[in-house]
Structure 1
C-alpha cells in the first residue's frame, strides 16, 4: 500500500526542463528566507527579456554567416565549439598535416647514439609510392639536422645504379616539416627510394629518443637510452611521415656499446662487431615489422636484464636489482594476453613481447608493438613495500597496454581526432582483462568509482570538449590525451556494450578487427560494423544505426541529466533531458542525446537487467507508461548509461528510506548523482546528505565502492568548507555517520583481502584528518618507531602514516622522509614519500620542496607533477604553489617541455582550494600573462578557471544552505 503523496512538492515539467532559476526540487528551505517578486515587476522583466531576445536575434541574423548546407543548429554549434578548442592554443594556426600525394611503404633506419655529446647519427632509406604525379616530397622532422648533400631520390628498380632524380631545392618548413622539390615528377604508383643521413639529439625531456640517468646499488651512475614516440615524437628520432595513417614496415639497425644490449619491436636478427675510439661496439639488426604507424616504433639501449627464459613469448626487463619485483607482472601478463586472444579470436601476431621497466618514463606505459615500455612504479611490485593499490595499478596498466596490441596497434585510428578509438577501448577492456585474471577483486564494480566519476567531473564543465574533434598540430594532439579520450571514451564504449548486448558487441569488435587489421579505421568504420551485427542479432531496430546513436556522444561535449516527473495516479513518467553542467547550463544550450534507459520499480525489483526498457531518441522530452510503481522506481541501473538522473522529491525520499534493500552499486550511484546535482544547485543538499547518513549508519560491512564514492564526494565539501566557521560541525557529521567504520578500521593490516586493504586506506585517511584523533596519535607513534628503531610501517598503511606524521610533525620528520626517498630502492615507496612530503603544514618546507623542481637534479621529470600536486592540494600550500609556478613558468616550461601534460596537471591541481573572486582573477591574470608561452596547457587553464569559478559560485549559492543544514542537525550528530 502506498501512502498519501504530497504533490505540492513535485516539480512541474517546466521546472524540470529549465532550472536556470536555481529552484531545487526539495523543500527543506529554512522559513522566512523566501524572496517574493511582485506581478507588475515580473511583467516588466518578461517584456525586457523579450525585447533583448529580439535584439540578439537581429544581431545574429545580420552578423553571423549563414550556410545553406542543410546542417542542423546543433551541428553548427559543434563546429563553433571545435573552433574555440583549436583557437585556445597560440599555435592553432600551425598545420602540421602532410599532403596525401605520397605514402611510405618501408623504412630502413640505422641509428647510433653518441652518449658523450647527447646526440645521434643516423641514416635511412624510405621506400615511397606516389598516389598522384608530384615533384614534391614533404615529411616530418623535429630537432633533426638533415645532411642535404646526402639526400638522394631514385626509382626502386634503379636503386643500385648511380642514376638519381635531380633535386631542385630542400628546406625546413613551419610545422616540423621538411620539403624536397625535384626537377622531375614522381609518377603515380611507381616505387621510389629516398635516402638520407642525419644528426639528432638525445634529449632529457623523455620525448623522442631520450637519455635516462640512474644510480645502481653501488652508487655508480648509469645511462639508458629509450624512445617515446607517441603521439608525434618519432620525428625527433628520424625523419618520417609521422601520422598514424601512414603505416609502413620498419627495419631497425642500432649501434650499442659492448656493455649494453638493445631491444626493438621485433626479435634480434643478427649482431655485428665494429670498433670505435671508445672500444668495441655492436650493430644489432632487427627484421621487418608488420605494417604499423611511426608512433609505435620503439628501441632501447641499456644495461637492463630480463628474468624470464629467452624462449618464452613474454619477457620482463628491469634493472638487475629490481628483477624480483617483476614476478607479479610476469605471472599475470601471459594470462591477460591469452584472455584477449580468446576474446578477439585473434592471436597476437608478433613473435615476442618485451615488457620493460624504463628508469625514467613520462607516461605510465606505452604500447609499442612487441616492446611495451613502463614507468618502473607502474610495472614493479615489491612484496615488502608495495601496496594493494600498487598491485591494482600494475594489473590495470598491463591489461591496458596489452589490449592496445589489438586496439591501436593491429587496427589504428586514421587520425588523432579519434584517439578514443584506441585509448577509450584500452581503458574499457583493461577491466575485462583484470576481472578474468583477478576475479576476486570484482573490479568491474569499480568502473563507477574510477572512470565514470573521473569523466563526469571533467565533462560537467563548459570547457569540456567533444570526444572527437579536429586537431592539426602537436600542441593540440597532446592536449587530447585527457579524461575525455580515456575515461569518457571508456564510458560510452561500456554503454554500447550494455545496449547492444555482450554477444553483439563482442562479435562486432571481432569483425571490425578482422576487416581492418594492419590498417587504419575511424569511428564510422566501427559504427558500421557494429550496426551490421546489431541488425543481424536484432539488438537494434532495422531503421536505427549505431552511428545515429553514438554521433550524439562523440560529436558534442558533455552529458545529460534526466529530470523525471511522475504521475503516480496514471502510472506514467515524464522525462526531460538537458545538458548537465556544474555551473548550470546556458539557456541556449540545445544538446540532446540518444539515451538507453533501463528501469525498475519496487514491485518488479529487477535490479540485474541493464537492457534498455525504453529510449530517448534525441528527444528533449518523452512520456512513458510504466505500470504500477510501488514505493520507488529507478532509472539507469548500475549507471550503464553515461548520464545522471534527478527524481521527484517523493521518490528521492523513498529511495533513502529503502536504500539498504538495494545493491551497494546502486547506493554508490544514488549518492554520486545526488551530490553532483546538489553541487550544481539542482537539488537540495538535504537529499545527498541523508543518503550518505543512511548508508554510513547502516552499512556494517563497509562496502568498498559506495563508501569510496561517499568519502570522495564529501571531500569536496571538506575542501571548500575548510576555512569557514562550519567546518568543525562538518567534521562532527563525518565522524558521526561513519562512526562504525572509524571504530572497526584500525592499523592492523594482517588481513590480505583486496577490499579490506583498499577500504582501510580510505577510512584511515579521513580518520587522520583531525589532529586530536586516535588515528593521528597512532600514525605518529608508528612513524617515530620507524625513525628511532627502523621498524618499518606496513606497506598498505604507509601513505596514511607518512602523510599524517609529516603533517603533524616538524622539519626533523620531513628531513627523515626525504632521506628515505633518496635511498629507497622501491619505486612505489618513492611515490608514497613524494606525496607525503607535500603534507607538511610548515610553509617554508613546502617552499623548499618546490624549489627542488628547478634545481636540476633532485626531482626527475616523471615525478615533477606529483611533487607540485602534493603541495597544491595541501590547503597550506595552494598559494605557495600558485606563486611558485607564476614565478618560474618559463624555466619550468624549458625544463619539462610540452610532453605528458606535466604543467597542465600542475595548473589543474591549483583549483581544489581556490574559491574567492580574488583568486579567480589572479588565475585568469596569470593565464593571460603567459598566452604567448602557454604551450600545451591552454585547456588545463580553461578547466581550472572554470572549476575555481564554480567554487566561487558554490560559496555564494550553496554555502548558507549547507551551513543551515549542518547547524540544524548538529545535535543529532552528538547522539549518534
Structure 2
C-alpha cells in the first residue's frame, strides 16, 4: 500500500436475483508517489474478468491474480507507472446468504410470495467481497456509485439519487459523490422498498421498509429527527450529508450498522407497532437509533486509524446514545439502566483473566470480529462516563468538539481524543486514560478505617479470586462524608485519606462513576447497611453496595451468608436497578443450587423477596406508573412462576388461554412472561399452539417472543423440537442464537443443548456462515449448560471443529464455568 493512495472509486453494480450474482466495474483514481508495476488490493470471493490501467491517454495492460487465503488481489502492470493514474477492473461476485459483504435477504410479502432484496454489511473488512479496494479504515476516498437494477426495484446508496434512466429492461440509478470516507461505511441496497418521509431543515429523512411496513416506522422517524438535531447542537457541527435513510432489513446479523447516510437495522429494532410492541422495545429502538446517529460524527466524520481503536467508535456511541435519549426521556432512568446493564456486563467480562484491554492489538479480520464485545462497547462507555465526571460535563463536551473539528474527514487515535479533552480541562487525561485503555481489567479498592483515617489499597479484581499484583490504575476517587466531598486521583498501590470527622459515615465512588469496585472493612459496611435500611443513601449507592458484595462472594473474598444477611437491609427498597439486581442475584443462586439439599432455603428466601416486589407491582400496569415498573414486572412474574408460585402460574395460564381467543386481551408488556410461563407448565398441545402462533406472526418482535417461549418447556423432547426448528427455514439465520441462548438459560436444557450442538454443529455453521458475528454468542451459550468436569470435552470438540474468531470467547466461556463451579463448591461447604 505504501506509495499508493486511492482518491476516488467509480463503482457500478448490477445485481441479479435470478442467479444471486452481481456484475461490477470500477475505476479507481490513484496517486502513486513511487514508480511501480504491481498494485495490491483487498478482494475476496470475487472473479476478476478484466483489468487495465490508464495514464493520460495510454492504456496499460495488466494481469490479475487473487490469493483466496489472504484475500489479496495482485495486479501486475505491463510497465511501471507513477503519478496520477486510473485502475479499471471488471468483476463478478456472489450475493451470499451469510449476512456479510454484498448479500441477499429473503422475506415473504403480504400474499406469502417469496421476495429478495440485496443489501450490504461491510464492517469490519467485508467491502472486499463487493469490490476490490483498500479495505482498511485509514484509507479514505470518495465514492461515485451507480446501480443497474430491474425496473420494479428501487436502489439506495449513501448519497441521494442524481439521475435515473431506462437502460433496456432496467433502470440505471446514479448517486451523488460521497464525502471522503472509509470503505466499511459504503452502502448498496436494492429491493422493493416503501418510504416514510420526514425532514430536519433541508436534510431529507426516510424510514425505508419492505412493502406494507412503512407505518410501523413512525416512532423511528420521530426519534431520528429529535436525536439528529440534538447531536448537531451537542457537537456544534452540522450533519454533513443531504439525506439520512434508516433502512429495515429482514436478515441482518448485527443490531444496526452506521453506514454514512444509509443506516441499516434489524426490522425488530426499527419497526414499532403500538399494539404489539413492548415498553422495552420502544426504549431499545430509541437507544439503537441514537447510537447509530452518534456514529455519523464519531466514526464516520472522524474515523479510527486502525481497528485497535474500534472502541473509540463503539464506546463513544454507547455513551452518547444514553446521554441524548436521556435528555428527551429522563423518566426512563436510562443512566441507571446503563449501570445495571452496560457497566455490569463490562465488569463481568473484565473480571476474567481472558479479558482484553480496550485498546487491543488486531492483526487480521477474524480478530476484529472478536472484539465487538462488552469491552469495546460497555467498558469503553463506562470509562468515558468516568472521564466526563472527572473533567466536568462542559470540559468534556468542548474537548469532543475540538477533537471532531480538528480531525474531520480524517482519521485519529485514542490519544488524539485525550489530548483534546486534557487541553481543555487542564488535567492529566492522557496519562490517566492510558491506565484504563491499555491494560486489561479494573481495580477493587480495599478500604480500612481507623478513626478519622482511611487507608485505600488497589488491586485487580478477578472473579476467580486469584491475585495479580503488578496492575495499577490512576483512579479518580470520590469520598463523600455527609455533605462534604473529597476527591483524589489515586495513582499508587496504596493511599491514605483523612476524614473530616472521626464519627461520620462515608461512602466511596458515590453514583458509581468510577469503573471499579469497593471492599469496605466489616464495621464500615455494617454502618452503611443501616443507611440503606433508612434509605439515607442514594439509590445508585444502595444498588452498588450489594452488587460489589455479591461479586466478592463469587471471588471467594466474602461468604454468601454475609450477602444474604446484608440484603435484609433492602426490605423497604423501591428502586428499579437495586431491586432488579438483587432479584437477579437471588434467582441466579436458586438456579445454581437447584440440585442441592439446601436449595429450599434459598428458594424460600428468593420467593419471599420477589413476592414483596410483586405485591407492589401486581399483574397490571397502574396509571402514571414509572417506565421501569413494566420492565421489572416482567422479570418478577417470570421468576416467581419458575420458582413454582401456583397463583402466578394459574394466572399466566388464564391469560394465555384468553389471548388464544382474543389477541388484544394481553398487553405487549405481559406477553413474554405469559408465553414463557404457559410453556413452563405446558405440554405438546401448548407447544403446537406456540409454534402455530410463531408461524403466523409477521412482526419480527412478536416472532422472537414466541420463539423464546418455545425454549421454556420442561420436557426435553420439546426443547429438542425447538432446537431442530432453528435449523429449518422457519428460523432466520439472524435469529438462530435465540433458541440456543434460550435453552442454555433453561435449567431443563442443561442435558440437552451441548450434545445437540455437537451433533448438529456442521449444519449450524452452514446456516449462519463462517465469519458471522453471531458465532460468538452461540459458543458462549455452551457455558450455561456445562460444569468444569466437561471442560476437556468442550476443548476437544473445538479443537476438532475450529471456528476462527471464537478462540477468545471459548477461553472466556470455560473460565466462567470454572468460576461458577468453584463458587458452588464454596456455597455447599457453607450451607451443609
Native 8 Å contact 1:357 1:380 kept in 2: yes
Aligned to 1:208: 101
Deviation at 1:196, TM superposition (A): 0.8
Q: Distance in 2 between matches of 1:227 and 1:169?
A: 25
Q: CA deviation at 1:423?
A: 0.2
Shift of 1:527: 1.4
Structure 2 residue aligned with 1:641? 514
Looking at structure 1, the residues matched to 316 and 164 of structure 2 have their Cα atoms a distance apart, in angstroms, of 38
CA–CA distance in 1 between the matches of 2:227 and 2:51?
Answer: 46
Name which of 577, 580, 600 aligns with 2:461: 580
Q: Does structure 2 retain, via aligned residues, the 8 Å contact 1:455–1:484? A: yes
Are residue 685 (structure 1) and residue 560 (structure 2) matched?
Answer: yes
Aligned counterparts of 2:297 and 2:466: Cα–Cα separation in 1: 39
Q: CA-to-partner distance for each residue in 1:901-927, whole Å, 9 max, x for gaps? A: 222111212223433x42233223323
TM-score by length of 2: 0.97
The 5 A counterparts of 1:266-345 are 266-275=159-168, 280-309=169-198, 313-345=204-236
From the superposition, tell whether residues 655 and 283 of structure 1 become closer, same or farther in structure 2 (CA, over 3 Å): same
Check if 1:493 corresponds to 2:384: yes
Shift of 1:165: 3.1
Q: For residue 803 of structure 2, what is the aligned residue in structure 1?
A: 934
2:48–2:91 contact (8 Å) kept in structure 1: yes
Aligned to 1:948: 817
Instruction: State the 1:202 CA deviation.
Output: 0.4
Q: 1:712 to 1:629 in 2, by over 3 A?
A: farther
8 Å Cα contact 1:594/1:615 also seen in 2: yes
Structure ranking higher in strand proportion: 2
Task: Give the Cα separation in 2 of the matches to 1:707 and 1:688.
Answer: 15
Q: 2:713 aligns with which of 840, 855, 868?
A: 840
Match of 1:919 in 2: 790
Q: Is 2:248–2:270's contact at 8 Å kept on the other side of the alignment? A: yes
Gaps of 5+ in 2: none
SS of equivalent residue, structure 2 residue 37:
strand
Equivalent residue number for residue 357 of structure 1: 248
Are 2:577 and 1:705 equivalent residues in the alignment?
A: yes
**For 1:525 and 1:925, how far apart are their aligned partners in 2?**
44
Residue 909 (structure 1) aligns with? 781
Contact preservation (8 Å) 2:45, 2:68? no
In structure 2, what is the equivalent of residue 182 of structure 1? Answer: 77
Alpha-carbon contact 2:185-2:300 (below 8 Å) kept: yes
SS at match of 1:737: helix
Aligned mate of 1:130, from 8, 29, 32: 32
Residue 654 (structure 1) aligns with: 527
Is contact 2:638-2:676 (8 Å) kept?
A: no
Rounded Cα–Cα distance in structure 2 between residues aligned with 1:246 and 1:573? 52
Shift of 1:868: 1.0
Higher alpha-carbon deviation: 571-580 or 304-313: 304-313
Indicate yes or no: 2:551 matched with 1:676.
yes
Distance in 2 of aligned mates of 1:502 and 1:337: 20
Is 1:154 aligned to 2:28, yes or no?
Answer: no
Corresponding residue of 1:53: none
Tell me what 2:259 maps to: 368
Aligned equivalent of 2:618: 746
* Cα pair 1:770 1:776 within 8 Å, conserved: no
2:2 aligned partner:
100
Counterparts of 2:4 and 2:77, CA distance in 1 = 14
**Cα separation, 2, equivalents of 1:716 and 1:729:** 14
Quote the Cα distance in structure 1 between the aligned partners of 2:316 and 2:502.
37
CA drift at 1:948 = 0.6
Query: Structure 1: how far apart are the matches of 2:439 and 2:560?
Result: 30
The offset of 1:445, in angstroms, is 2.1
User: Which digits, 9 at most, give the CA deviation of each residue in 1:856-877, with x for residues without a partner?
Assistant: x121011001121111111111
Counting only pairs closer than 5 Å after superposition, residues 603-614 of structure 1 correspond to structure 2 as: 604-606=482-484, 613-614=487-488
Distance 2:170 2:828 in 1: 69
Farther-moved stretch of structure 1 (480-489 vs 754-763): 754-763
Report the counterpart of residue 474 of structure 2 in structure 1: 594
Cα drift, residue 417 of structure 1: 0.5
Pairwise CA distance, 1:170: 3.7
Alpha-carbon contact 2:107-2:115 (below 8 Å) kept:
yes
State how far apart, in whole Å, the 2-side matches of 1:374 and 1:881 are: 30
Query: Which stretch has the larger CA shift, 243-252 or 256-265?
Result: 256-265
Partners in 1 of 2:115 and 2:493 — Cα distance? 62
* Deviations 1:360-414 (CA, angstroms, capped at 9, x unpaired): 1111110000001100001111111111100011000000000000110000000
Q: Deviations over 1:18-60 (max 9, x none)?
A: xxxxxxxxxxxxxxxxxxxxxxxxxxxxxxxxxxxxxxxxxxx
Distance 1:717 1:631, change over 3 A: farther
SS in 2 for 1:191: strand
Residue 116 of structure 2 is aligned to residue 245 of structure 1: no
- The Cα of 1:183 is off from its aligned counterpart by 4.3
Q: Decide which moves more: 642-651 or 904-913.
A: 904-913
Q: Give TM-score, length-normalised by structure 1.
A: 0.83
- Does 2:431 align with 1:548? yes
Per-residue CA shift, 1:458-511, capped at 9, x if unaligned? 111111001112111111011111111011110111111111111111100000
Aligned equivalents of 1:181, 1:956: Cα separation in 2: 64
Report deviation, 1:832: 1.3
Q: How much does 1:131 deviate?
A: 4.0
Kept in 2, the 8 Å contact 1:454–1:487? The answer is yes
2:203, 2:244 within 8 Å by CA — same for their partners in 1?
A: no
* Counterpart among 732, 754, 772 of residue 860 in structure 1: 732
CA–CA separation in structure 1 for the residues paired with 2:764 and 2:609: 44
Structure 2 residue 158 is the aligned partner of structure 1 residue 265: yes
1:470 alignment partner in structure 2: 361
Distance in 2, Cα, partners of 1:944 & 1:804: 28
- SS of equivalent residue, structure 1 residue 116: coil
1:900 is displaced (CA, Å) by 4.3
Q: Does the C-alpha gap of structure 1 residues 817 and 312 become closer, same or farther in structure 2, counting only changes over 3 Å? A: farther
The aligned counterpart of 1:5 is: none
8 Å CA contact retained: 1:749, 1:796: no
Residues 511-554 of structure 1 deviation map (CA, whole Å, 9 limit, x = unaligned):
0000000000011111111221122xxxx2xxxx3221111111
In our comparison, the structure showing a higher alpha carbon Rg is: 1
CA distance in 2 between counterparts of 1:769 and 1:108 reads 59
Please, which runs of 5 or more residues in structure 1 have no aligned partner? 1-98, 965-976
Tell me, in whole angstroms, the C-alpha distance in 2 between the residues paired with 1:922 and 1:793.
Answer: 45
Q: CA RMSD in A?
A: 1.7
| Aligned length in residues | 827
